[in-house]
Chains A and B, each alone.
Chain A
């Protein structure tokens, strides 16, 4: 007959074993408690990514997801973070808002990710703003910064706003011309709403810096031949225009630069962020590229800064990424993972291992040092934006900043009251 003592001992033993298991498990999980509805399972931390992987903007956005995947792989190979592996859930929207809406719902409701990285395209981020707020989903580093994004509290912006890009582009052209007072600016831009926006900001900026605005020339998104654009540029130059602020795609840039070179037209050109692309510098005509710079908010993995060392180590041992060592968007993807995990670690240690999406959002609303890959980030303000942009050129191996973030962005940061 089993004695009473044995009746007590068995459940006690079981309870003790359970407690020990829990304690052991908690220790193995890096002190982080599971919160599956916030993307933290027993074994994984889930990060979502939304962007164009096979559509018209894929060549710009793929480096971003590659950078994020590389970061996850790099961390996982060293044992993961907080006792878990980073799991990336990437969904392709082909730059289409309808696909993006479905993907967003899937990441929130089905995959329960901790946060979403990227979300490229203002045609996607703007209409999703209310849904982002309703879901309280942090969105890290979309590839554009718009007024609507600055008003959406859960979006953390790295890419410079068009107004700030215009300021630095105008300052860069003024440097190339020999002074803002000598600058007579022509804007070449896409016939899309963001092109109108950029043109307006460039006009405002050149006048504020003491220069002149000549005219604007439009290029088409799928334009095949740029002879008409060159004709218009030559007409503007005959009337005194002496520099170009360029808003367009990589394809536009290569087409226009080849046409300018063919026509023997030489003029300083400064381009927006998407034109800081290795493809342009590797494949464009040398005579035009000698006077071309493009602005960017992040340095590429090839940069000689402490923040790039881990990326360089990883790329060296993973030849499938060898062609992306010069891609700033690869750095941006890497940084999105790094900033998110840094925030997660902060909140995990502060809250005794209890984490939710909301507490991660609070942790993201702070300061981060990216080791020189971009400006020191300060997301403590309401707009979650650190104006940071520098003009870049190609040094044969990768994009490099001529003046550095501190010099190019100082005026911007004063404008926002950050200095």
Chain B
């Protein structure tokens, strides 16, 4: 128990971070069909903006968060109109390469404005730990889990019951039919990018409180969130959450019992097993195509 409980609690916290970031990835894919390989770089931008607002400018928390959300929303709008919209109808890999290019640009922007040196992590949540047996659990980790579930619940509700969520689902289901019934698909795609990047910002701010230091390699978190989304199912919002939590638990338990050198083997091995058995992911829908 003294070994398993700390790994369980840290796995849930890490998995929550993965879930929040994977959610942004799934939102964009579900609505627009774009595999956004710049997801990690968007998270990185959000984190550096948060550092600018909270640490450098010392803005009040509410204003800082609203500024980060507004900036990421504006960035999402830019990405839609300058990158995604011109490539609608183009081959799939053109879109993928375009997102990779966007990621490289974002990387260069961060170097230009913030430099390459490590930054301190954010410390926005309550410090300190409490103990359950031998396991020390931080209040910050608990806060991360609560916020993640709140965000997921909010967006699941928006998708399910709001008119914009209905339109986003319609566009994701059948683009031509959505156009025929009069849905402004351009506006839906733009809103998808805005919402997807705001969700990425939330994931980034959570991650900035979780990690030990912040530098350019923080964008690698995107590479961890993509397997989480694929495991859960690229078209399922609850799947992104379950996939993230599973991935976090697998990584922490494998690392704790076997060593960190086994972490990637277990996490990507799980991905391969899921893809072999259920290619659409644990909660995704299999796509039936009429030939």
Contact = CB atoms under 8 A, between A and B. Distances in A.
Interface of A: 53-56, 58-59, 62, 191, 217-220, 222-232, 234-235, 250-251, 254-259, 262-264, 279, 283
A230 B211 contact: no
A255 B263 CA distance: 17
A226 B7 CA distance: 10
B217 A56 contact: yes
B13 A225 contact: yes
Contacts of A256: 212
B217 A262 contact: no
B136 A264 contact: yes
Contacts of A262: 129, 136, 138
A231 B213 contact: no
Contacts of A53: 116
A279 B120 CA distance: 9
A62 B117 CA distance: 9
A259 B260 CA distance: 15
12 contacts: A220-B260, A220-B263, A223-B255, A225-B14, A228-B253, A228-B256, A230-B6, A231-B256, A235-B3, A250-B118, A251-B213, A279-B213
Contacts of A191: 259-261
A355 B253 CA distance: 62
Nearest to A251: B213
Given A220-B261, A225-B14, A228-B256, A58 B7 contact: no
A59 B212 contact: no
A278 B207 CA distance: 24
Contacts of A58: 116-117, 216
B19 to A, nearest CB: 14
A84 to B, nearest CB: 31
B252 interface: yes
B92 to A, nearest CB: 28
B215 A251 contact: yes
Interface in B12-60: 13-14, 17
A223 B221 CA distance: 10
B39 to A, nearest CB: 16
Contact of A222 (B2, B17, B217, B253): B217
Nearest to B223: A222
A174 B253 CA distance: 33
B272 interface: no
Contacts, number: 101
B10 interface: yes
A266 to B, nearest CB: 13
Nearest to A252: B212
Interface in B201-227: 207, 210-213, 215-217, 220-221, 224
Interface centre among B3, B7, B118, B207 (most CB of A within 10 A): B118
A235 B6 CA distance: 13
A232 to B, nearest CB: 7
Nearest to A190: B260
Interface of B: 2-3, 6-7, 9-10, 13-14, 17, 111, 116-118, 120, 129, 136, 138, 207, 210-213, 215-217, 220-221, 224, 252-253, 255-256, 259-261, 263-264
Closest 6 CB pairs of A and B: A255-B212, A227-B10, A228-B256, A228-B255, A58-B116, A191-B261
Contact of A228 (B17, B138, B260): B260
Interface centre among A228, A254, A259, A264 (most CB of B within 10 A): A228
Contacts of B221: 224
Contacts of B10: 225, 227-228
B41 to A, nearest CB: 14
Given A59-B117, A251-B118, A264-B136, A224 B259 contact: no
Contacts of B213: 250-251, 254-255, 279, 283
Contacts of B129: 262
B190 to A, nearest CB: 32
A254 B136 contact: no
Contacts of A54: 111, 116, 216
B183 to A, nearest CB: 40
A233 B251 CA distance: 17
Given A225-B252, A230-B6, 16 more contacts: A53-B116, A55-B216, A56-B216, A58-B117, A191-B259, A191-B260, A218-B261, A225-B210, A228-B260, A231-B256, A255-B211, A262-B136, A263-B6, A264-B136, A279-B118, A279-B213
Nearest to B224: A224
A228 B138 CA distance: 15
Contacts of A283: 118, 120, 213
A306 B224 CA distance: 50
B10 to A, nearest CB: 4
A54 B32 CA distance: 33
A258 B210 CA distance: 11
Contacts of B116: 53-54, 58-59, 62
A62 B111 CA distance: 13
A124 B17 CA distance: 35
B257 to A, nearest CB: 8
B218 to A, nearest CB: 9
Contact of A232 (B120, B212, B256): B256
Given A225-B14, A227-B6, A227-B252, A251 B259 contact: no
A196 to B, nearest CB: 11
Contacts of B7: 227-228, 231
A209 to B, nearest CB: 26
Given A59-B116, A191-B261, A254 B3 contact: no
